[in-house]
């Protein structure tokens, strides 16, 4: 793409680094910004810069936070003895938006994946083990993606906690709501049968 200005070109290539943004979309966004008032564009770039420099990670659960301890960990209404273990911050946001979970979280920062060079020491697993011991955690609920890496991660952490009294569970895995049985893969259908639920705990 030939652009008439190197300043424009620099801006386009910065936008094009964002996930899901190609050169054409980047150009459209940059031209849009060019039409805005200079003060608005300054505000836009300052907001991004402040977000990057000011944001913190909760020292307890590694969720994103404006302070050392996040809003969920410091909320006295939440059950601190129940921890939902997730891969990343997007998962916290997804679970929070269900309004179905009143415990706390632990963000692993990834999952164990030897092929991608991610081992246990690259994640916040040690901090999680320490929390289970120090914070008298009664239950860990794993809400990881249902794949080999997710299962490996659960297995590894479970092994580490085998002498602990902490209960270890995972979120239910099965047929998605609105899905059709005949199109479900065998593993999903098999697990749905193995993890069947009493109807009264399901239909409310």
- Pick 36 or 74: Cβ nearer Zn ion: 74
Write out the residues near Zn ion by the rule CB under 5 A: 58, 60-61, 63, 70, 73
Closest distance between Zn ion and the C-beta of residue 9, in Å?
A: 41
Q: Which of 108, 136, 103 is nearest to 122 (CA)?
A: 108
Beta-sheet pairing, 139-142 with 167-170: parallel
- Pick 20 or 54: Cβ nearer Zn ion: 54
- Pick 56 or 167: Cβ nearer Zn ion: 56
Question: Kind and range of the H or E element at 83?
Answer: strand 79-86
> Distance (Å, rounded) from C-alpha 68 to C-alpha 107?
15
- Contact yes or no for 166/187 (Cβ under 8 A): no
- Pick 30 or 60: Cβ nearer Zn ion: 60
Q: Is 108 helix (H, G, I), strand (E, B) or coil?
A: coil
- Pick 102 or 195: Cβ nearer Zn ion: 102
Closest distance between Zn ion and the C-beta of residue 38, in Å?
A: 38
- Contact yes or no for 166/137 (Cβ under 8 A): yes
Beta-sheet pairing, 64-65 with 56-57: antiparallel
């Amino acid at each position: 793409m030939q652009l008439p200005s190197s300043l424009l070109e620099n801006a386009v290539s910065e936008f094009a680094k964002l996930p899901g943004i190609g050169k054409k979309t980047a150009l459209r966004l940059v031209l849009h910004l060019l039409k805005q008032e200079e003060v608005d564009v300054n505000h836009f770039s300052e907001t991004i810069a402040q977000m990057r420099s000011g944001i913190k990670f909760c020292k307890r659960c590694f969720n994103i936070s404006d302070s050392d301890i996040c809003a969920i960990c410091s909320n006295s209404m939440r059950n601190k003895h129940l921890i939902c273990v997730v891969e990343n911050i997007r998962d916290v946001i997804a679970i929070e938006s269900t309004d179905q979970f009143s415990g706390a979280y632990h963000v692993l920062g990834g999952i164990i994946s030897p092929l991608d060079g991610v081992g246990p020491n690259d994640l916040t697993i040690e901090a999680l083990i320490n929390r289970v011991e120090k914070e008298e955690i009664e239950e860990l609920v794993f809400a990881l993606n249902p794949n080999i890496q997710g299962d490996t991660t659960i297995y590894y952490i479970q092994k580490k906690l085998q002498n602990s009294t902490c209960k270890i569970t995972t979120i239910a895995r099965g047929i998605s709501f609105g899905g059709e049985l005949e199109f479900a893969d065998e593993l999903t259908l098999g697990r749905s049968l193995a993890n069947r639920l009493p109807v009264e705990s399901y239909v409310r």
